[in-house]
Amino acid sequence: MPTTKMKASIYKVYGGPEVISYGEVERPEPKPDELQVKVMAATVNRTDCAMLTAKPHIMRLFCGLTRPKKQILGTDFAGQVVATGSKVKHYKIGDRVMGFHDMGVQSHAQYLTIREKNPMVLIPEGLSYVKATASIEGAHYAFNFINKVKIEPGQEILVNGATGAIGSAVVQLLKIKGATVTAVCDSYNIDTVRSLGADHIIDYLREDFTDQEKTYHFVCDAVGKSSFNQCKRILKDGGIYISSEVGNNGDNIFKTIQTQLFKQNKRVIFPIPSNVQESLNTIKSHLEEGKFTPLIDRTYGLHDVPIAFTYVLKGFKTGNVVIDMSDLQ
């Protein structure tokens, strides 16, 4: 009789990494329109952190007002289809798949079930599960950063936080579009950022990027550490400031509306992510063409998920932190 249990990383209340435990739960069975996937790898990312801690507080509206509705975290996954519901048309047992949902797919577990119509793609041939999952969350947000504006080859673009999951993907996607990229990182990461394709690098431990004379068509703050007011003077006429964070008191949302309503010369865009399937399709083709390589900081086993969260919550990971579950039986 096959076991119906699986190993999982579980949380029942909001809090820090200490509320997460490692244990056994019922393995989910697929409904007619669902796949059952054996998860081989998933990331611990900043979206997971928001769901774990319920910060910002608005997360409670989506994840559960008093306690989490889903007791397993994880927003992205790379794995193998092991069972299909009776109505599944496009996937079969044995397919290698990668997918994402920003409200969680419960991938910090050995198995998950997912509707066939959830954003998902087949993993490019020869790409490891670890690399596949590291190409999803940050790359999706990065894609949504830059598809909100029209980027022309040769335009000057500054990326702050170029070593984060989002920033490292933004740099690569901008280079694919032919932009000239100035990346901001700390001294230790200069070689890493250069390997992503950045044309110019500013070490933020030595220089404040908002103080320079050079001006840019776009300033993308992938870690939300600056403000529009600080960056205004380094934007060219018609330049746009984009940030991954809402800013102090929702400043970036307010200024997005204000600068567009009053047709101001320099504008703010707060990129609201949409259409995950389009991000996945785009990243998949870049992976297949060898134009995109995910930046991976480190990997952990499933039992070490709390340690992974402790590290990711510090806000200084270099690219992606991956949970490698390929050895779990």
Ligand X SMILES: NC(=O)c1ccc[n+]([C@@H]2O[C@H](COP(=O)([O-])OP(=O)(O)OC[C@H]3O[C@@H](n4cnc5c(N)ncnc54)[C@H](OP(=O)(O)O)[C@@H]3O)[C@@H](O)[C@H]2O)c1
Binding site for ligand X (CB under 6 A): 45-47, 138, 141, 160-161, 163-167, 184-186, 189, 204, 222-225, 244-245, 273, 315-318
CB 231 → ligand X: shortest distance, Å?
A: 13
3-class SS of residue 253 = helix
Comparing CB distances to ligand X, the nearer of 28 and 164 is: 164
Comparing CB distances to ligand X, the nearer of 109 and 193 is: 193
CB 41 → ligand X: shortest distance, Å?
A: 17
Q: Are 310 and 48 in contact (CB under 8 A)?
A: no
Comparing CB distances to ligand X, the nearer of 6 and 181 is: 181
CB 225 → ligand X: shortest distance, Å?
A: 4
Query: Token digits for 60?
Result: 């409670």
Residue 249 CA to residue 9 CA, distance in Å, equals 34
Comparing CB distances to ligand X, the nearer of 28 and 167 is: 167
Tell me the residue number closest to ligand X, measured at CB.
164
Residue 256 CA to residue 251 CA, distance in Å, equals 8
CB 105 → ligand X: shortest distance, Å?
A: 15
* Polymer length in residues for the chain: 329
Comparing CB distances to ligand X, the nearer of 84 and 189 is: 189
Comparing CB distances to ligand X, the nearer of 10 and 193 is: 193
Q: Are 218 and 267 in contact (CB under 8 A)?
A: no
CB 318 → ligand X: shortest distance, Å?
A: 5
Q: Are 119 and 277 in contact (CB under 8 A)?
A: yes
CB 221 → ligand X: shortest distance, Å?
A: 8
Q: Are 296 and 44 in contact (CB under 8 A)?
A: no
User: What region, left, alpha or beta, does residue 193 occupy, with left being phi > 0 and alpha being psi -120 to 50 degrees?
Assistant: alpha
CB 98 → ligand X: shortest distance, Å?
A: 18
Closest CA to 56 of 21, 14, 17: 14
Comparing CB distances to ligand X, the nearer of 89 and 206 is: 206
Burial of 194 (0-12, 13-18, 19+ CB in 10 A): middle
Residue 149 CA to residue 151 CA, distance in Å, equals 6
Closest CA to 64 of 13, 115, 102, 8: 13
Residue 135: Cβ within 10 Å count = 29
CB 47 → ligand X: shortest distance, Å?
A: 5
Comparing CB distances to ligand X, the nearer of 17 and 167 is: 167
